[in-house]
């Protein structure tokens, strides 16, 4: 890859015309939030560097992952690579797991070390992400913790993304949802009434943030996957305390520990389904050490009404594990698009082995670890339909669905509490739509698909070249 | 000063701006709400704070705990 960390990736984005620098001084509110909302709504979804924020020392990076162009560049692909091709490239790189990290001395993230008079506001230009958030949030952190029962096990160490609310100069709240790996670590620490050391890593190689929001297995290392995606090892170093493995080239590391058996109010916070999630009692983290690079960049993300940066970040890394789990039992499956609202909506493309096959594929999806609680609406299309192309999917819905036979409801099934339609919260009715062409013994009216005319390839090239020549004049 | 969200008087200065004395940030020790002195009135003013997001401080202790606190493991001798 042509970058090793956030700074080098920002250079790639700038060269590719995917980065805007705001040189005018802006207010923390409402400007940073408004910039984070605007950038992904632009046609090419550029990243934005805000160089000067009123009252703060350091710059802010927003929307680093917030477009398909930036996503392609993260994977080392040309920026106009179609989504489906990015999906297959990711699937290929995934097979290289694990590529083990290397540990380095003199890590850039240790250039500056703060252990007394800690004030997060001195280092980070903190701001309110959405208007009725309970405070200033760090929404794009990679958080490292170890299994207290097996602290030397590298694979059981976790690097995940959890929302962080700033509650003091050296105090933050964290949201470890019970089904996420850090909650396993916390439970074991709290059973012993011990603090859980964590490192909150900010401003990372974009591949690291991509992996930290990917639902991999408990005994798998996000760092080993990040190495596979890059085709080269990630550089790690040791934290000052707690013996954690942290990225050597992050911009800022906040080291601290979760205080055991304590909960205080956190939230509300605007979340990815486009609505606020309520206030709850959640753990708090005492920060004892900050290390950072000289002139650190604070990378954060805006999230809200889809699509925002987080939707791009969680799009293919939600789709890929589901695809691999389905493919194991149903080799006819071609691709899985689970990028709508973190997999609450899923479109599967598959060849049908026999009549009714599409429904079976959908039911398998609904019994995978992620699909069981999250996926509410599952659409199955033929193998020649691109599930990432909604125009083609609408074609399948309009020409292949017989509502009396192909639409199925499964009431009172597991749901996802952040889905505001789940009622009671955490339960919902599943909807399966089989939009595949019937195969035997199922019956359909005889239809023949239209072919493309001969010489289409020739004329597509001809027209493209002609347009390019006109553009050069 | 009063917390705009829960009307508690238990409010502290959290920090001042690192440069230029540009603003201050306050925090409510009752409901953990924080706000900046330069934000709009409908964030800072208890009268103008949106009623849908007001918090009744007497109900805070009964909110859900995420995640739940587990039983302590008894130490073996
Ligand atoms: Zn309050």
Other beta carbons within 10 Å of A421: 13
| C-alpha to C-alpha distance for A53 and A32, rounded to whole angstroms | 9
The pLDDT score that the predictor gives to residue B3 is 98
Report pLDDT for B76.
61
CB-CB under 8 Å, B50 with A55: no
The token duo for A80 is: 């106009």
Per residue in A268-286, pLDDT tens?
Answer: 999 999 999 989 999 999 9
The answer, for B20 touching chain A at a CB cutoff of 8 Å, is: yes
- Point out the residue among A54, A187, A281 whose CB comes nearest to the CB of B63: A281
pLDDT of the residue at A20: 98
Distance B54 CA to ligand 1 centre (A): 9
**Neighbour count for residue A425 (Cβ, 10 Å):** 14
Q: Dihedral through CA A186, CA A373, CA A418, CA A181, nearest 10?
A: 20
B37 touching A (Cβ < 8 Å): no
What average pLDDT is seen over chain A? 96
A266–B25: do the CB atoms touch at under 8 Å? Answer: no
* Interstrand relation of A297-299 and A59-62 (parallel, antiparallel or unpaired): parallel
- The answer to whether B32 contacts chain A (CB < 8 Å) is yes
CB-based contact, B56 to chain A, within 8 Å: no
Give the residue from chain B lying closest to A174, CA to CA: B66
Q: Mean pLDDT, to the nearest integer, of A371-386?
A: 96
Going from the Cα of B65 to the center of ligand 1, the distance in angstroms, rounded, reads 19
- From chain B, the residues in CB contact with A121 under 8 A are 15, 17-18, 25
CA terminus-to-terminus distance, chain A: 34
For range A2-9, the mean pLDDT: 97
Catalytic positions of A, written as ranges: 271
Spatial distance between the Cα atoms of A165 and B14, rounded to a whole number of angstroms: 14
pLDDT value of residue A217: 86
DSSP-assigned letters across all residues of A46-80: -EEEE--BTT-SSEEEE-TT-SHHHHHHHTTS-TT
What average pLDDT does the segment A218-240 reach? Answer: 97
Q: Is A73 left (phi over 0), alpha (psi -120 to 50) or beta?
A: alpha
CA–CA separation, A57 and A252 (whole Å): 14
Q: Which residues of chain A make contact with B45, given a CB cutoff of 8 A?
A: none
What would the mean pLDDT of A366-384 be, rounded to a whole number?
95
Residues of B whose CB is below 8 A from A27: 38
- The b-or-e profile of A308-328 (16+ CB within 10 A means b, else e) is bbbbbbbbbbbbbbbbebbbe
Q: Is any Cβ of chain A less than 8 angstroms from the Cβ of B14?
A: yes
How far, in Å, from the CA of A77 to the mean position of ligand 1?
48
The average pLDDT across B48-53 equals 97
Instruction: Report the pLDDT value the prediction gives residue A365, as an integer from 0 to 100.
Output: 97
Instruction: Using alpha carbons, select from A67, A74, A78, A1 the residue that is nearest to residue A39.
Output: A67
Any CB–CB contact under 8 A between A353 and chain B?
no
**Interface pTM (ipTM) of the complex?**
0.97
In this prediction, residue A473 carries a pLDDT of 65
Q: Is A340 helix (H, G, I), strand (E, B) or coil?
A: strand
**A56–B contact, CB cutoff 8 A:** yes
Average pLDDT over residues A104-124: 97
Q: With beta carbons under 8 A apart, name residues in chain A contacting B40.
A: 29-30
* Predicted structure pTM score: 0.94
Could you tell me which of A188, A288, A207 has the C-alpha nearest to residue A250?
A207
Of A128, A261, A265, the CB nearest to B32: A265
Collect residues with CB below 5 Å from ion ligand 1. B 3, 5-6, 8, 28, 30-31, 33
Lowest mean pLDDT among A38-52, A180-194, A414-428: A414-428
Smallest CA–CA separation between B56 and chain A, in Å?
12
The answer to whether residue A1 scores a pLDDT higher than 80 is no
For an interface test with A, which of B32, B53, B70 has the most A Cβ atoms less than 10 Å from its Cβ? B32
**Cα(A213)–Cα(A309) distance, integer angstroms:** 13
Q: Could you tell me which of A57, A213, A43, A188 has the C-alpha nearest to residue A121?
A: A57
B17-46 residue pLDDT tens: 999 999 999 999 999 999 999 999 999 999
CA–chain centroid gap for A198, Å, is 21
DSSP notation for A269-321: EE-TTSSEE--EEE-EEEEEEEEE-SS-EEE-----SSSSHHHHHTTHHHHHH
Smallest CA–CA distance, residue A202 to chain B, in Å, is 20
Question: What's the Rg (C-alpha) of chain B?
Answer: 17
Among B6, B20, B34, most A C-beta atoms within 10 A, so best to mutate, is: B34
A233/A37 Cα distance (integer angstroms)? 34
Which of B14, B21, B38 would you mutate first to test chain A, the one with the most A CBs within 10 A?
Answer: B14
Return the residue matching tokens 């899985």: A336
Tell me the pLDDT tens digit for each residue of A66-102.
Answer: 999 999 999 999 999 999 999 999 999 999 999 999 9
CA of A278 to the centre of ligand 1 (A): 15
Identity of the residue in B15, B40, B66 whose CB atom sits nearest the CB atom of A280: B66
**DSSP string for A390-415:** HHHHHHHHHHH--HHHHEEEEEEEE-
Asked whether the beta carbons of residue A55 and residue B25 sit closer than 8 angstroms, the reply is no
Residue B39, chain A, CB below 8 Å: the answer is: yes
Quick: pLDDT tens for A117-174: 999 999 999 999 999 999 999 999 999 999 999 999 999 999 999 999 999 999 999 9
pLDDT of residue A157: 97
Is residue A397 exposed (0-12), middle (13-18) or buried (19+ Cβ within 10 Å)?
middle
């Amino acid at each position: 890859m042509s970058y090793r960390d956030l700074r080098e990736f920002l250079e790639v984005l700038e060269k590719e015309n995917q980065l805007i620098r705001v040189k005018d001084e802006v207010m923390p509110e409402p400007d940073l939030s408004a910039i984070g909302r605007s950038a992904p709504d632009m046609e090419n979804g550029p990243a934005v560097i805000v160089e000067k924020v009123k009252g703060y020392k350091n710059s802010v990076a927003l929307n680093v992952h917030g477009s398909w162009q930036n996503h392609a560049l993260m994977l080392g692909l040309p920026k106009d690579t179609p989504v489906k091709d990015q999906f297959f490239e990711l699937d290929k790189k995934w097979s290289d797991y694990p590529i083990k990290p290397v540990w380095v001395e003199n890590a850039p993230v240790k250039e500056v070390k703060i252990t007394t008079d800690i004030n997060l506001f001195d280092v980070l230009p903190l701001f309110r992400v959405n208007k009725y958030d309970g405070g200033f949030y760090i929404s794009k952190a990679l958080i490292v913790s170890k299994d207290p029962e097996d602290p030397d096990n590298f694979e059981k160490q976790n690097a995940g993304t959890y929302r962080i609310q700033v509650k003091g100069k050296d105090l933050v709240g964290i949201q470890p949802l019970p089904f996420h790996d850090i909650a396993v670590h916390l439970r074991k620490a709290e059973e012993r009434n011990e603090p859980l050391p964590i490192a909150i890593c900010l401003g990372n190689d974009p591949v690291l943030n991509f992996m930290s929001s990917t639902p991999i297995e408990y005994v798998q290392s996000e760092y080993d996957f990040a190495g596979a995606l890059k085709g080269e090892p990630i550089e790690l170093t040791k934290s000052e305390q707690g013996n954690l493995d942290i990225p050597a080239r992050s911009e800022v590391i906040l080291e601290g520990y979760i205080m055991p058996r304590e909960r205080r109010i956190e939230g509300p916070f605007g979340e990815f389904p486009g609505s606020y999630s309520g206030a709850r009692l959640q753990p708090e983290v005492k920060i004892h050490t900050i290390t950072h690079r000289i002139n650190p960049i604070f990378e954060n993300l805006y999230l809200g009404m889809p699509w925002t940066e987080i939707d791009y970040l969680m799009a293919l890394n939600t789709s890929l594990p589901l695809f691999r789990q389905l493919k194991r039992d149903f080799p006819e499956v071609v691709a899985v698009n689970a990028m709508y609202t973190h997999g609450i909506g899923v479109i599967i493309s598959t060849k049908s082995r026999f009549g009714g096959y599409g429904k079976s594929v959908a039911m398998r999806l609904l019994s995978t670890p992620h699909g069981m609680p999250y996926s509410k609406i599952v659409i199955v299309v033929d193998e020649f339909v691109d599930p990432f192309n909604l125009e083609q999917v609408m074609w399948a819905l309009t020409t292949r669905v017989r509502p009396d036979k192909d639409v199925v409801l499964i009431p009172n099934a597991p749901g996802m509490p952040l889905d505001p339609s789940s009622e009671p919260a955490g339960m919902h009715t599943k909807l399966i739509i089989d939009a595949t062409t019937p195969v035997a013994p199922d019956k359909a009216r005889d239809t023949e698909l239209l072919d493309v005319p001969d010489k289409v390839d020739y004329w597509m090239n001809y027209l493209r070249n002609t347009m390019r020549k006109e553009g050069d004049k | 000063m009063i917390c705009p969200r829960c009307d508690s008087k238990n409010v502290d200065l959290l920090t001042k701006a690192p440069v230029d004395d540009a603003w201050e940030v306050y925090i409510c020790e009752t409901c953990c709400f924080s706000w900046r002195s330069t934000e709009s009135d409908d964030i800072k003013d208890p009268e103008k704070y949106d009623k849908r997001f007001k918090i009744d401080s007497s109900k805070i202790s009964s909110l859900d705990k995420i995640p739940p606190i587990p039983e302590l493991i008894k130490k073996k001798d």
